[in-house]
Structure 1
Amino acid sequence: MTTPYADLPPERYWRSGVADVHATGLSGLYQKKFDIARKDRIATAGSCFAQHVARHLTKHDFNVLDAETSPLDLPDEVARRFGYRIYSGRYGNLYTARQLLQLLKDAASGTVRPEDVWEKNGRFYDGLRPSVEPDGLASPEEVMAHRREHLGFVDELFSNVDVLIFTLGLTEAWVHRASGAVYPICPGVIAGAYDPAEHAFKNFEFDEILADMLEVNEILKARNGNFRMMVTVSPVPLTATASGDHVLAATTFSKSTLRAVAGSLRNRCDNIDYFPSYEIITSPSSRGMFYEPNLRSVTEIGVETVMKTLLSQHAGDKPAEAAPKERPAPEKDDAPRKAKRGGGKKKKDDLVCEEILLEAFAR
């Protein structure tokens, strides 16, 4: 008797597709929906894990746009500390779909909200990207002037993009009750002050995230009829949750919701593809080898495996680099690396991630 499950390719069965395959050699997991050429104008954005994608695509000579370039004589470590050379714009981490949609709309309209200026110790910060000026600015007016200039760069960037690679990171966010503005971090963590009368916790649901991403797609397609988007889901667990649930349950809700949205986008839209970085890192076949001892940070071999898979479909005329065969030895110090001003040494390719600061509130 013949069934649809007879004589399927090996990757369609769990044993031959996962259990019997080394985690660095999963085959058939990703088949591209469309081409991404080296000449395509690529923008990157999203959660912290998206920084790996930008770095590796640039290393492999893809045309990753940089709309806000740093001064030529600025060392890379300093440039990254001030939000340069991380993404295609100096917008910092966009953890949620609503942040991306908000940024596009604000850039198109030039909207700057005074309530988004945060204060700390007499210095002022852009609450929508509080980490890009680590020492703050002298006045709210200066912050707003910087933001207007930034939005101009962003509007130009997304007027000229062929491909957006966006990493969905979180469902949880903090919003300004009156304006609806969504922040990358809770007020009071980096700067500003949390006020329950002004700020509300928001855990976005599937239908809200899907609607936001579909609207993003329509906005960018209207600017470029050949626009394409690749969505990924960050495999990095939540640092902390304000949902009231255990952080493991909250992480599962967040990532499963985002993965469902990504799959729906791929199924609905001819110009949207999904790349399974989440599955590569979290696969049971990896047996945890792709995570550092803190069970959050992705190891370099994990990143290399993700990028090897991506480049196997989009490498063009240049072969992808092989992933390391052995896992690098874990660092002795499992604590998050401190920024230079905090006294620790920061490596060139360390991720810039506001969310990790939430660990400071653990007892």
Structure 2
Amino acid sequence: MAHQVIPGEQARQFYRTNPWAKWPTRDKPDRLSPLAEPATGPLFGLSGREKVFCIGSCFAREIEETLDRRGFEVLSLRRDFPRSPNRGLPDRNMFNKYNVGTVLNELRWALEAPGSYRHEDVLLNAPHNQLVQDLQLQGEAYAEEWGFAVAFREAFNRFFATIAQADVVVLTLGLSEAWFDRQTELYLNAAPTEHMVAAYPGRFELHVLDVAATAAMLDEIDAILQAHLKLDFKLLITVSPVPLASTFRDQDVLVANTYSKAVLRACVDGFVQQRPHARYFPSYEFVTLSHPELVWRADDFRHVDTQFVDYLMASVLNGVEGLEAEATQSRAAVRQKLLASKHPSSSLWAGGWARWWQRLRQVWKSHRKQQRLARKTVRSHLDRWDGRRLQGWVYDERHTQAVEISVWVNDALWIKTLADEERVDVADAFGPERLHCGFLITLTALPPGAKVLTLRVGDVLLKTIPLNPPKD
């Protein structure tokens, strides 16, 4: 079935008159190499005073911050959420929506059927674990006590409903591998942990979405937006160039990622052909067709360098009616800066300096990555704190040996000990290799002025406890 049928006479006319109809050649490579410049065509007429809401994968965060710097009122940056002692990571990533199913979930709960949201469907925990995970957001990375999780989710639902005020919605599609909860019949934004899958056998499935399923959910997303936003709202769709970090399929992640992006790109092409209020911006093509040295950050091959994001956003505004003059000048300046600073054929000295700086950044990023990995793999629970004794358990999923737990008073290290006591209940829940993971720490003679107690494993914050005078 064709999503677009063009009469032969018109197709021949397009071929004759379209200046971008032919692929660039070695003689004239400028539009492709080293920096791709796919033509966007006219996008929308904007004044710069519009309210914008950005939804989607991590690339959407880059878009909204750039639009904010350009003076647009970006509703999706208005974030005022209750804090929690368990949430050591910033909230920025909480707003990433990686698949069309979870975008659709949020829009249903926020606009279409607010009464359909239920905490018991969304906030999940493994047996014997007091912390719950919101798998519609970031899952285990932000595991919370029930009260904090409920407060955050209710605030998030109110926040997402502000999309109804938007003049422009930017929707960035991320990937086509999506986890599905058979019990709630909801697509998940974060993969359930191995322990969660084992604790609820048969509950979770990996769905590799096809074009038909993706297109159906995109249709429903647009129907909700049309029903609840202004009649003249505009929808700008992009496909995130950020590839899969890993795949749960039995194949090479390079192959799995190609399928994932191809499905999204195919759906979008048919989607915008049928909707005059929707436009596609080829951020995916900008990135994948440009020289890798110009595109990727120095620490990985997944995240787009900030200078290249600036180039992309200047190209977006270059296609916006009413902003062309400023955008053209800005785009030329950004392009020149990008080529001058990162061009693959830079001088040997500049290249050596760049490689040294890149290596320094890689070491720093690697350290940060290890910290983030530890936050995701350290499991713990504090069972008891009576003013003198700390009792609980902790282990690291990456290995089976006992981990060292440290207790800090204010900002000073007070005591270190191994968490190696027997915990039969933990072994029953998480496997026999977790038998020796308990701790019992008695604190005496705390220093005067002690205000806060902190439990850590390495750089990972486990718990922060305000101190009251000990009871006899």
User: Does the alignment reach a TM-score above 0.5?
Assistant: yes
Contact residue 50 and residue 167 of structure 1 kept, 8 A: yes
**Residue matched to 1:337:** 365
**Residue matched to 1:92:** 95
Contact residue 38 and residue 285 of structure 2 kept, 8 A: no
Deviations 1:248-285, CA, capped at 9 Å, x for gaps: 111110111101111111111111100000000011x5
The CA deviation at 1:114 is: 0.9
**Residue matched to 2:124:** 118
Identity of paired residues, percent?
23
The CA deviation at 1:123 is: 2.5
- Equivalent residue for 2:20, pick from 11, 19, 22: 11
- Consecutive unaligned residues of structure 1, counting only runs of 5 or more, are 345-353, 355-359
Structure-2 separation of matches of 1:26 and 1:146: 41
**Residue matched to 1:295:** 301
Look up the SS of the partner of 2:175 in the other structure. coil
TM-score w.r.t. structure 1 length?
Answer: 0.79
The CA deviation at 1:335 is: 7.0
Contact residue 112 and residue 148 of structure 1 kept, 8 A: no
Judge which range, 249-258 or 299-308, deviates more: 299-308
- Equivalent residue for 1:326, pick from 340, 360, 368: 340
The CA deviation at 1:58 is: 0.5
Q: Assess, with a 3 A threshold, how the Cα gap between structure 1 residues 178 and 134 changes in structure 2: closer, same or farther.
A: closer
**Residue matched to 1:137:** 144
Structure-2 separation of matches of 1:256 and 1:281: 15
What letter corresponds to residue 263 of structure 2 in structure 1? Answer: T
**Residue matched to 1:168:** 173
**Residue matched to 1:38:** 48
What letter corresponds to residue 182 of structure 1 in structure 2? Answer: Y
**Residue matched to 1:268:** 274
Ranked by relative contact order (alpha carbons within 8 Å, sequence separation 6 or more), the top structure is: 1
Structure-1 separation of matches of 2:33 and 2:280: 19
Structure-2 separation of matches of 1:55 and 1:205: 31
**Residue matched to 2:188:** 183
Contact residue 123 and residue 135 of structure 1 kept, 8 A: no
Deviations 1:87-127, CA, capped at 9 Å, x for gaps: xxxx5211111111111112232412414223375323322
The CA deviation at 1:304 is: 2.3
Q: Assess, with a 3 A threshold, how the Cα gap between structure 1 residues 152 and 20 changes in structure 2: closer, same or farther.
A: closer
**Residue matched to 1:255:** 261
Structure-1 separation of matches of 2:157 and 2:73: 22
**Residue matched to 1:212:** 217
Q: Assess, with a 3 A threshold, how the Cα gap between structure 1 residues 145 and 193 changes in structure 2: closer, same or farther.
A: farther
Structure-2 separation of matches of 1:245 and 1:128: 26
Contact residue 42 and residue 162 of structure 1 kept, 8 A: yes
Q: Assess, with a 3 A threshold, how the Cα gap between structure 1 residues 167 and 336 changes in structure 2: closer, same or farther.
A: farther
**Residue matched to 1:349:** none
Q: Assess, with a 3 A threshold, how the Cα gap between structure 1 residues 318 and 19 changes in structure 2: closer, same or farther.
A: closer
Structure-2 separation of matches of 1:80 and 1:68: 20
Structure-2 separation of matches of 1:20 and 1:166: 29
Structure-2 separation of matches of 1:173 and 1:335: 32
What letter corresponds to residue 173 of structure 2 in structure 1? Answer: L
**Residue matched to 2:405:** none
The CA deviation at 1:225 is: 1.2
Deviations 1:191-230, CA, capped at 9 Å, x for gaps: 9555441111111111111111111111111122112111
From the CA coordinates, give the structure whose radius of gyration is larger: 2
Structure-1 separation of matches of 2:165 and 2:34: 35
Look up the SS of the partner of 1:245 in the other structure. coil
Structure-2 separation of matches of 1:281 and 1:341: 24
Contact residue 10 and residue 16 of structure 1 kept, 8 A: no
What letter corresponds to residue 203 of structure 1 in structure 2? Answer: V
Paired residue total:
331
Look up the SS of the partner of 1:326 in the other structure. helix
What is the CA RMSD across the aligned residues, in angstroms?
3.5
**Residue matched to 1:107:** 110
- Consecutive unaligned residues of structure 2, counting only runs of 5 or more, are 1-8, 343-353, 377-396, 399-472
Structure-2 separation of matches of 1:116 and 1:201: 17
Look up the SS of the partner of 2:365 in the other structure. coil
What letter corresponds to residue 174 of structure 2 in structure 1? Answer: G
Asked if residue 51 in structure 1 is aligned to residue 56 in structure 2, the reply is: no
Q: Assess, with a 3 A threshold, how the Cα gap between structure 1 residues 327 and 251 changes in structure 2: closer, same or farther.
A: farther
Asked if residue 201 in structure 1 is aligned to residue 185 in structure 2, the reply is: no
The CA deviation at 1:144 is: 2.8
- Equivalent residue for 1:229, pick from 227, 231, 235: 235
What letter corresponds to residue 98 of structure 1 in structure 2? Answer: G
The CA deviation at 1:39 is: 1.4
Structure-2 separation of matches of 1:59 and 1:92: 19
Deviations 1:153-177, CA, capped at 9 Å, x for gaps: 322x122111110110100011111
